[in-house]
Structure 1
Amino acid sequence: MVVVSSPGRADFLNTHQDYKGLPVVPAAINLRLYMSAKPTGGKVFTVKSLDLERYGEPSTDTFEVKVNEMLEKGFFGNYLRGVVNVMVKRGLAEKLRGMDITIKSEIPIGSGLASSAALEVSFAKLLDHVCGLGCTKKELAEIAYAAENQEAGIPCGRLDQYGVAFGGIIKLECRPPFRVEPLPFRTLTFAIIDSGVRHSTGAIHPKRQQEIDRALKKLMESKSVPEKLKAKLGYRFDQPRWEDLHEKDLQDYLSILDYKSRMRVVFTLRMQRLTDLALKVLRFEPLGKEELISTLGLESWKRIQRSPDGERNYRILGEIMNEQQSLLRDLYEVSIAEIEDICSEALAAGAYGAKISGAGMGGSVIALVKNEEEGKKVVKVCLSIGSKDGWVSKVGEGVRVERP
């Protein structure tokens, strides 16, 4: 029996930016999905999810080493079929062998903790290990991404698959060649709160992408926008050189946009600026007072100043998380009352910062806490207001073979 496991991931920083080609910062967590397999020697896969069986949902699938059709939308087997499809299309069919597979996961489904990516990456690693494919972590992440995005038709970016495959805390550049930078500041502890409100990425991403496209079309077709600025833009959400744009560059032209599309553009620019600041902390680079005040504001600076020296970097990261949550709520409109209540209670219980993990409109909140004891306090308080579940997690490892 071969056993492979993958972590869930916390969508730590720059949420809703990967599909725009901007860098994102996922953090692997200790909750893991386990995939046990017995090779059969044939060309047929039989799969059983113990968790879905317990929930009374469709929990089994059977498919072959070929380009398989996708079944009903949201069916868990589509993600696995997608992995096989990608490998077959890449000329690996002769190497693939059938297996009997059992799945058991600690990662709640639809909670913004990358349960589908953990499923895909585990299966890709399982096939890689058993069939001797010799895949790198990056290749596993790309196979898993193609399985979800191209085969299953979910309009996701690469955040989840790379976060799960590599583990730790990474900066992922979301334009080719998709460079990964492991970040050295890893001594972080998170309280993870499942709101119990289920969400679907497929319902959120396309709408926000369309709103940004609408803004870009208006800017590109406006005679008042200089050609030099248009050269940094484009007509599609993933075409602008967002990281080279500043809010002041667009300030004189935002008024020609409708309210919603204007908010989506401003959100994109402000989230990136906050993430740039956080990356300096995660690389242990020095930060000046003026930079902190200009990015986070005077009140945040005062809270940072009041922090003990040993906690200052955690406080800065917490302030950045809080500011990004405000942008997700106010400018991207992907938060809901239950999420806001969890964030407020987590902060009141002592968390440095709290924000949505994942696409939003439900799912989970991640809160940065001082240590495991403080994390347990945050979880207890959030459960008392009706949250479904909660965990305390250090930064986890990426996909791995548990039993060869």
Structure 2
Amino acid sequence: GLKQLMSMELPTSIKSKLGYRFWEPKWDEISEEELKPYLRNIDRVSLNRILFTLRMHRSTMLAIKIMKGLKINSSNINNVIEIDIKKVEDILSSNDWDLKLLGNIMLYQHKLLSELYDVSLPELDRIVDEVTNAGAYGAKLSGAGLGGAVIGLVKDFETGRKALNRALNCCASSGYIVKIDSGVTTH
């Protein structure tokens, strides 16, 4: 897809942000809107890969802002993860708004992986649904596509146990409940 785009007569302002390999484009400077007139001229698989990358990047940047505790604009959330503005406002007014938003981002990213990148399976999609229906804030495919794992974000151990049991009862072969720690630190 990138090679197809680079071979087109694009404005310099767009072409300078692209590249021939996936690591070359300045994804944080490229908007889907500015590429839209040109994307219709590339094959469907390449189109989906580019849309996936743009949308995954935007939603990951939103998740990072949330985890850093930065102020989040409700219309920005709506534009990035495509959820109803009323739902966004309800989420932002709750005590656990950050976890709820991260969960919605996880669900959005799973949808991107499933629908645009074609790396999910019906069983994985069902596990995501089951885990979410059991009370998880969100869930998504992680790791190797067409296999890998599903990660769910839950508020407590009991919700985690309920979500895990739902996943095991439907189609998961195994699962774990883990607690997030502080991660790597420097001393």
User: Structure 1 length normalisation: TM-score?
Assistant: 0.43
Alpha carbons of structure 1 residues 266 and 359: separation in structure 2 relative to 1, 3 Å: same
8 A Cα contact 1:293 1:301, kept in partner: no
More strand by share: 1
2:159 pairs with one of 366, 374, 386: 374
Pairing 1:63-102 to 2, within 5 Å after superposition: none
Pairing 1:196-215 to 2, within 5 Å after superposition: 215=1
Confirm or deny that 1:244 pairs with 2:29.
Answer: yes
Larger Rg belongs to:
1
| Residue 8 of structure 1: aligned partner | none
Aligned equivalents of 2:173, 2:15: Cα separation in 1: 47
SS in structure 2 at match of 1:252: helix
Shift of 1:302: 1.2
| Residue 5 of structure 2: aligned partner | 219
8 A Cα contact 2:91 2:101, kept in partner: no
Aligned equivalents of 2:151, 2:4: Cα separation in 1: 36
Pairing 1:119-134 to 2, within 5 Å after superposition: none
Shift of 1:359: 2.9
| Residue 171 of structure 2: aligned partner | 386
Aligned equivalents of 2:157, 2:17: Cα separation in 1: 45
Shift of 1:341: 0.8
| Residue 207 of structure 1: aligned partner | none
Aligned equivalents of 2:85, 2:145: Cα separation in 1: 25
Alpha carbons of structure 1 residues 310 and 275: separation in structure 2 relative to 1, 3 Å: same
Structure with the bigger RCO (C-alpha within 8 Å, sep 6+) is 1
More helix by share: 2
8 A Cα contact 2:138 2:152, kept in partner: yes
Letter of the aligned partner of 2:7 in structure 1? Answer: E
CA deviations on 1:122-152 (whole Å, 9 max, x unpaired) are xxxxxxxxxxxxxxxxxxxxxxxxxxxxxxx
Letter of the aligned partner of 1:265 in structure 2? Answer: I
SS in structure 2 at match of 1:256: coil
Alpha carbons of structure 1 residues 303 and 235: separation in structure 2 relative to 1, 3 Å: closer
Letter of the aligned partner of 1:317 in structure 2? Answer: L
Give structure 1 regions of 4+ aligned residues with deviation exceeding 3 angstroms. Answer: 396-399
1:313 pairs with one of 87, 90, 98: 98
Aligned equivalents of 1:291, 1:367: Cα separation in 2: 24
Confirm or deny that 1:293 pairs with 2:78.
Answer: yes
2:110 pairs with one of 313, 325, 332: 325
Pairing 1:32-47 to 2, within 5 Å after superposition: none
Pairing 1:8-27 to 2, within 5 Å after superposition: none
| Residue 48 of structure 2: aligned partner | 263
Confirm or deny that 1:361 pairs with 2:146.
Answer: yes
Letter of the aligned partner of 1:366 in structure 2? Answer: I
8 A Cα contact 2:75 2:85, kept in partner: no
SS in structure 2 at match of 1:295: helix
Shift of 1:384: 0.8
CA deviations on 1:82-127 (whole Å, 9 max, x unpaired) are xxxxxxxxxxxxxxxxxxxxxxxxxxxxxxxxxxxxxxxxxxxxxx
CA deviations on 1:138-181 (whole Å, 9 max, x unpaired) are xxxxxxxxxxxxxxxxxxxxxxxxxxxxxxxxxxxxxxxxxxxx
8 A Cα contact 1:293 1:300, kept in partner: yes
Aligned equivalents of 1:242, 1:306: Cα separation in 2: 28
Pairing 1:105-144 to 2, within 5 Å after superposition: none
Aligned equivalents of 2:77, 2:156: Cα separation in 1: 25
2:15 pairs with one of 226, 230, 233: 230
| Residue 337 of structure 1: aligned partner | 122
Q: Which runs of 5+ in 2 are unaligned?
A: none
